[in-house]
Amino acid sequence: MSRELLEGQKLPASNGSNRRTFLKLGLSVGAAVSGGLMLGFSLPAASQGAAPSGRSAIGGDGDEAPKSGVFEPNAFIQIDSNGKVTLVIPKVEMGQGIYTSIPMLIAEELEVPLDSVTIAHAPPNEKLFTDPLLGTQMTGGSTSIRYAWEPMRRAGATARALLISAAAQQWRVDPASCHADRGEVVHAASARRIGYGKLVDAATKLPAPESVELKDPKDFKLIGTSAKRLDSPDKINGAAVYGLDVRVPNMVYAAIVQSPVFGGTLGSVDDTHARKIPGVRQIVKIGNGVAVVGDHTWAAKRGAAALDITWNEGNGASYSTDDVIKELASASNRDGAVARMDGDIRKGFNEAKSRVDAVYQQPFLAHATMEPVNCTVSVRADGCDIWVGTQVPTRAVDTAVKVTGLTAEKITVHNHLLGGGFGRRLEIDFITQALKVGKQVASPVKVVWTREEDIQQDMFRPYYYDTLSAGLDANGRPIAWQHRIVGSSVIARFAPPIFKNGLDPDAIEVAATLLYDLPNQVVDYVRQEPQAVPTAFWRGVGPLRSTFVVECFIDELANTAKIDPLAYRRDLLGKSPRALHVLDVAARASSWGSAMTKGSGRGISFMHAFGSFVCMVVDVTVNTEGEVAVNRVVCAVDCGMVVNPNTIEAQIQGGIIFGITAALYSEITIKDGRVEQSNFTDYRMLRIDQTPLIDVHIVKSSEAPGGIGEPGTAALPPALTNAVFAATGKRLRRLPIGSQLVSV
């Protein structure tokens, strides 16, 4: 998902301003921050959610009622009379470091020490927290810094200007003769200093400045430094609070058993044995499953295991992955919606001296966040509280309105740190389910899925089927390029308004926006949905799929043309200096072209997506048993101006490991309508002993910031399979690699 993709999207999301209970004082100031849309309405006070035993500096709800004596120039900054600075972060923290990098953007302009700020989760409020790149309040698509870069600095600068004005008035001096420094306004000429806390009342009364000046990047003190993560201290001592850690007074615990077959419904339930288990309190039926409610998770789990359930399996019970593939292969014969058409492809093929054809396939994938799916709810006649970690807080409100029949202002969402997102927590299926359970339970209830449910009842990255053909001229250059993408459209379900004319803008991303010089090309998309298998976004989204296909196929063309894969790419990317630069940096750092030992190979990939440019070089060894060891990954990345290089390195390292797991192991298969995998035993994760050396090179750039959460994952798999080709001569056109090389 990129800027181009979701820009302008208008979703029927909840209108957070419905939830206002108080009009904040000084709210007009907020309008300066983001184009006058912000109204600065406050939200109901945080409710009775009790914090767990650990004391956490992160994770207060940013929806407290306004207090007198608190300076709130906009939705993101609160300064109290003691000078305590609370930042309300419009994006959720799921590992990507946004609870550090957004505070850095604000603190740079606000002139406060980064380690002095307190972080609060933003409440659901589309008016205050919509990301215009996504059209909604959502965290995903590697947009956070692209969105935050200017408005968060502007928020800090606006607050700083007001505080300086307040001090200057008090001192009767020209504001231009004052400056801000470490939470104080300073008048150097008279050596006077005053803390922000003492300026709160005066600053609150001032009108918003017409405009504020942002720092010249050369004056940045914080942006561009490897500032330490603000969430680290809480995450090394058990204090960090994830959705699963919520403890609410009188809370009970629920385990869920859902239809093992896609599309199945509940038939009959014999709960005789379950009810006899000590600690089991209640058995609750929902549409496609049963919840067992108990005094603790163990009682609920034992109760769930003791249920005797008959399912109405329906038509799904004969469905398998083979059927999915047959449907996709058949659909690939249909003409698709055209995503890109350049030149004259027929002429290109006619003039070609050689032709290459290929079919690429990529499997269903489960997200497998380390924190299993969970949601805690309290559904009452007078209101509803939801404690959850979600990438889409306003959608949580929407579903609660539907399930409970309450109005939006009666719904309170308490967001939390996410124990991994990767797209799973863009979905609200489990929130809806918890609400359906909670409606039938008298006390607050925490619904926790087992790992088996988490994998088998996931919403999956779609199975994709891509067909490609290229015609090469006498020099091996592609003069015809045809690419057909076939698969489920997540966008059509998730954001229907932007699925237009049969085109899924996510599915075609990268494929239809290649920087390669392809004078005659057609890229089209055929939507083909699997029966009853729910599909969803997954880290890397469209670019992950497209980059694997395109970068492997480019390698095939280079091999056909008998040209070095790096040289082949350089030749086709000659018009993009940023692309060439990352290729050259990665090539140099990886000693591209140096000799490899027998059984080893080196592969390359390039990607331009999420506003960033990435080149990966992967070294592998394939042993005589056909097992692949990834020895080293070199990555050069140009993601524009850098907020925190430490975070970027971590995201690239982690993204690469996520991508290696996907390329080597990850595959959800379906047999008899059921997911065949169930836990980390058969849905394998890369572990520390298989982790390669990872060498990340961040290219200096003064361009606008690009996304960084997904590029590492999206660009990795083709470099790995291209390395396997270099090592073995075997071209893998299907993921995962799994046991495909065993017979080599």
Binding site for another protein (CB under 8 A): 52-54, 93-97, 228-229, 231-242, 244-245, 247, 253, 278-279, 296-299, 368-372, 417-422, 448, 450-451, 646, 650, 653-658, 679-681, 685-689, 691, 693-694
Residue 736: is the preceding peptide bond cis (ω within 30°)?
yes
CB of 64 or CB of 427, closer to another protein: 427
For residue 516, what is the DSSP state? S
Among 378, 381, 407, 375, CA closest to 393:
375
CB of 231 to another protein, least distance (A): 7
Residue carrying structure tokens 């006498």: 474
CB of 544 to another protein, least distance (A): 15
The token pair at 196 is 């922000």
Please name the residue ranges forming H helices in 645-741.
645-664, 711-728
Angle between helical axes of 541-561 and 565-572 (0-180°, round to 10): 110
CB of 388 to another protein, least distance (A): 14
| Distance in angstroms (rounded) separating the CA atoms of residues 292 and 283 | 5
CB of 143 to another protein, least distance (A): 18
| Distance in angstroms (rounded) separating the CA atoms of residues 279 and 265 | 27
Amino acid letter, residue 292: V
CB of 81 or CB of 691, closer to another protein: 691
CB of 600 or CB of 691, closer to another protein: 691
Residue 94's SS3 state is coil
Is the Cβ–Cβ distance between 195 and 162 less than 8 Å? no
CB of 728 to another protein, least distance (A): 26
CB of 398 to another protein, least distance (A): 25
CB of 696 to another protein, least distance (A): 10
Handedness of CA 504, 506, 507, 510 (dihedral sign): positive
CB of 370 or CB of 474, closer to another protein: 370
CB of 39 or CB of 58, closer to another protein: 58
CB of 144 to another protein, least distance (A): 14
For residue 116, what is the DSSP state? G
CB of 191 or CB of 688, closer to another protein: 688
Instruction: Please provide the size of the chain in residues.
Output: 744
CB of 232 or CB of 272, closer to another protein: 232
| Distance in angstroms (rounded) separating the CA atoms of residues 401 and 409 | 9
Is the Cβ–Cβ distance between 271 and 310 less than 8 Å? no
CB of 72 or CB of 619, closer to another protein: 619
Alpha-carbon dihedral of residues 622, 628, 631, 637, nearest 10 degrees?
120
The token pair at 447 is 């619904």
CB of 468 to another protein, least distance (A): 30
CB of 38 or CB of 119, closer to another protein: 119
* First-to-last C-alpha distance (Å) of the chain: 37
Handedness of CA 477, 470, 488, 712 (dihedral sign): negative
CB of 68 or CB of 681, closer to another protein: 681
The token pair at 359 is 């079919």
CB of 295 to another protein, least distance (A): 8
CB of 637 or CB of 656, closer to another protein: 656
For residue 458, what is the DSSP state? S
Q: HSE of 298 in the Cβ direction (CA atoms, 13 Å)?
A: 1
CB of 678 to another protein, least distance (A): 9
| Distance in angstroms (rounded) separating the CA atoms of residues 628 and 623 | 7
Alpha-carbon dihedral of residues 132, 494, 501, 527, nearest 10 degrees?
140
Instruction: Please calculate the CA angle 305-307-313 and round it to the nearest 5 degrees.
Output: 105
CB of 431 to another protein, least distance (A): 19
Residue carrying structure tokens 């803008």: 505
CB of 262 to another protein, least distance (A): 23
Residue 592's SS3 state is coil
Please name the residue ranges forming H helices in 627-710.
645-664
| Distance in angstroms (rounded) separating the CA atoms of residues 73 and 268 | 57
Is the Cβ–Cβ distance between 78 and 71 less than 8 Å? yes
CB of 299 or CB of 561, closer to another protein: 299
Is the Cβ–Cβ distance between 71 and 204 less than 8 Å? yes
| Distance in angstroms (rounded) separating the CA atoms of residues 390 and 590 | 39
| Distance in angstroms (rounded) separating the CA atoms of residues 693 and 656 | 11
CB of 242 to another protein, least distance (A): 6
Those residues with Cβ within 8 angstroms of residue 422's Cβ, 6 or more apart along the chain or in another chain = 94, 367, 369, 538, 539, 658
CB of 255 or CB of 552, closer to another protein: 255
CB of 299 or CB of 386, closer to another protein: 299
CB of 234 or CB of 509, closer to another protein: 234
CB of 735 to another protein, least distance (A): 18
CB of 590 to another protein, least distance (A): 17
Those residues with Cβ within 8 angstroms of residue 380's Cβ, 6 or more apart along the chain or in another chain = none
CB of 299 or CB of 573, closer to another protein: 299
Q: How would DSSP label each residue in 578-616?
A: HHHHHHHHHHHHTTTT----TTEEEEEEEEEETTEEEEE
Is the Cβ–Cβ distance between 244 and 372 less than 8 Å? yes
Amino acid letter, residue 460: F
E strands present in 287-438: 289-294, 308-312, 337-342, 354-362, 374-380, 383-388, 411-415
CB of 305 or CB of 337, closer to another protein: 305
CB of 662 to another protein, least distance (A): 11
CB of 109 or CB of 245, closer to another protein: 245
CB of 396 to another protein, least distance (A): 19
